[in-house]
Amino acid sequence: MTPTDAQWAWIAGLFEGEGHIAFLARSVQVRIRMTDHDVLQRLDALQPSFSGLRPLKKYKDHYKQQWSWDLCNAANVTAFLQGVLPWLGERRGTRAIEGLARIAALNAHNKDKTHCKFGHPLSGENLYMSPSNGQRACRTCKVRHCADYEARQRR
């Protein structure tokens, strides 16, 4: 479900007040953290995050429980930033434009890659294309990562 203009305006207001754009080494992430769980549930219904709402660690017993809503996938972050951009103020709007430019640059850089960081070819049977966002990945590394994860879970 794509949010309406009024819903995007509400999301932008929430993001302007409580949100954060993180520029990491190889990604751009969007986060909103707050104690109002019901507000974040409404946001997650309009613009679902991959991980859902996460409770954050309470640093002191008398602190209220904080919740985090995160977007990490480049395609989802791009759609989110494009959706809220018309309603953002100057400072946050500039940051959103920087985020969109960084995602575009990262995507352009990754399109030219012929091998993964472990030297496996990104072609033929070894190329995995994500059905949700079209991102390319090394099938050999993906299989190894899943096996390692399952082994850790069995311990």
Contacts of 46 (CB under 8 A, 6+ apart): 1, 3, 7, 11
Model-wide pTM > 0.85: no
Q: Stretch 43-54: mean pLDDT, rounded? A: 91
Task: Please state, for a pLDDT cut of 70, what percent of the chain lies above it.
Answer: 97
Q: Stretch 20-39: mean pLDDT, rounded? A: 93
Cβ distance 30 to 77 under 8 Å? Answer: yes
Q: Under CATH, which number does the domain 5-112 receive?
A: 3.10.28.10
Mind listing the pLDDT tens digit for each residue in 92-123? 999 999 999 999 888 777 777 889 999 999 98
Average pLDDT, the chain: 91
Cβ distance 65 to 139 under 8 Å? Answer: no
* 16 vs 106, more confident: 16
Contacts of 56 (CB under 8 A, 6+ apart): 33, 65, 66, 67, 68
Q: Give the pLDDT confidence score for residue 48 in this predicted structure.
A: 92
Neighbours of 146 (CB within 10 A): 10
Q: Give the pLDDT confidence score for residue 51 in this predicted structure.
A: 81
- Judged on CB neighbours under 10 Å (0-12, 13-18, 19+), 53 is middle
Q: Given pLDDT bands bounded at 50, 70 and 90, which one contains residue 8?
A: very high
Q: Which of 136, 133, 118, 122 is nearest to 78 (CA)?
A: 133
Q: Which part of the chain is CATH 3.10.28.10?
A: 5-112
CA distance 29 to 23: 7
Q: Give the pLDDT confidence score for residue 29 in this predicted structure.
A: 95
- Report whether pLDDT(131) > 80: no
CA distance 131 to 149: 21
Mind listing the pLDDT tens digit for each residue in 64-89? 999 999 998 888 999 999 999 999 99
Q: How far is CA 147 from CA 118, 136, 141, in A?
A: 17, 19, 10
